[in-house]
Amino acid sequence: MPGSYLDRTSRPIYALAFLAGFIIFYELGTLLINPEALQRSLTLLKGRVVTFLWIQGLLEYIGFTRQMTWIATPLVVVVILLALQLTSRTSWRVRFKDFFPMSVECTVMAVPLVVLSLMFNSRPAEPPAPARPIATVLAAPILPPVSVVAAVPSATATTELRPSKFDSLLTDIVTAIGAGIYEELVFRLMLLILLMMIFQDLLNFSDSQAIVFSIVISAILFSLHHHWMFIDGRFQTGEPFLPVPFVFRTLAGIYFAILYAVRGFGIAAGTHAFYDIIAALIKAYIINGHA
């Protein structure tokens, strides 16, 4: 119904207002955890959120300095959502009391992914591969640094930074929030729109065909980018490719795409971030807690 909770919270202005705190927390968190981030081309923390680096690289290509991109990159999210709000011609009114049920909704929506990850990881692992904890299937923040930070400038970058358990958890949470926002921005909001334009306007696919192809392709690319990354003009390897995490992330990408289509960018990005946070907590207090 127009004006209902589901209608209100699917608007772009709600996504912007709901995610504003997450964006600020992510930006401040990266500076507090890694104070040299403004001077280094890649950092241990930022190397994990590859999509953030992609947007930074695009901004640098069009003339922004590295320092300016730390402010301009989150502004990309703001500008896109404001533009979508303008074109939607819907109400700009935001009820801040809706943010709590939105947070609950994102947490509930993350539960199916947790269950799915448990199902996938309950299967016997492949003999050549090391045992992987259940929480590392989707969430980039909790993967071992060596498998996700392929673009760190030197080996000393990973050996000099040995954070405490709390610092490591905080880093995982900050990165989880960044991944939720910027991966959804790139692979759902931007890529889905681009693919729909290609299939509908250029290839003349039917609406249903364009939707299916766009969702599946975006999900596959979302999963692949955890294994092969394009940074600084060249391809770099990320997590070693294994069928189980690849299939899981592809299914997760389809889930996020459907969630984005039905509930909007705010809930999709929030669900992604909340799943990664839950995964980080599982790693810190259940898996590593028993190690």
d(CA 171, CA 76): 23
Quote the pLDDT of residue 147.
27
Which has the higher per-residue pLDDT, 237 or 61?
61
Residue 168 tokens, joined: 């490591």
Q: List, for residues 186-212, the tens digit of each pLDDT value.
A: 999 999 999 999 999 899 899 999 999
124-133, 134-143, 198-207, 228-237, range with the lowest pLDDT? 134-143
- % of the chain at pLDDT higher than 70: 76
Quote the pLDDT of residue 60.
85
Which has the higher per-residue pLDDT, 175 or 19?
19
- % of the chain at pLDDT higher than 90: 44
- Positive or negative, the Cα torsion across 259, 260, 265, 270? positive
Q: Taking residues 33-39, what's their average pLDDT?
A: 47
d(CA 170, CA 280): 9
Q: List, for residues 241-279, the tens digit of each pLDDT value.
A: 888 889 999 999 999 999 999 999 999 999 999 999 998
- Positive or negative, the Cα torsion across 79, 83, 84, 89? positive
Residue 211 tokens, joined: 């939707």
Task: Quickly state the pLDDT bin for 130 (edges 50, 70, 90).
Answer: very low
Contact assessment for residue 144 and residue 245, using Cβ atoms and an 8 Å cutoff: no
Residue 286 tokens, joined: 């259940």
Q: List, for residues 106-119, the tens digit of each pLDDT value.
A: 999 999 999 888 88
Task: Quickly state the pLDDT bin for 140 (edges 50, 70, 90).
Answer: very low
Q: Taking residues 205-232, what's their average pLDDT?
A: 88
Q: What is the pTM for the complete model shown?
A: 0.79
* Helix spans in 44-126 (H): 50-61, 66-88, 99-121
2-11, 207-216, 240-249, 281-290, range with the lowest pLDDT? 281-290
d(CA 49, CA 70): 13
Quote the pLDDT of residue 149.
30
d(CA 115, CA 108): 11
Quote the pLDDT of residue 288.
65
Angle in degrees, CA 179, 225, 255, rounded to 5:
65
Any long-range contacts for 280-284 (C-beta under 8 Å, 24+ apart)? 280/135, 280/139, 280/141, 280/142, 280/169, 280/172, 280/173, 280/176, 281/169, 282/133, 282/134, 282/135, 283/133, 283/135, 283/136, 283/142, 283/172, 284/165, 284/168, 284/169, 284/172
Q: How far is CA 101 from the centre of its chain?
A: 21
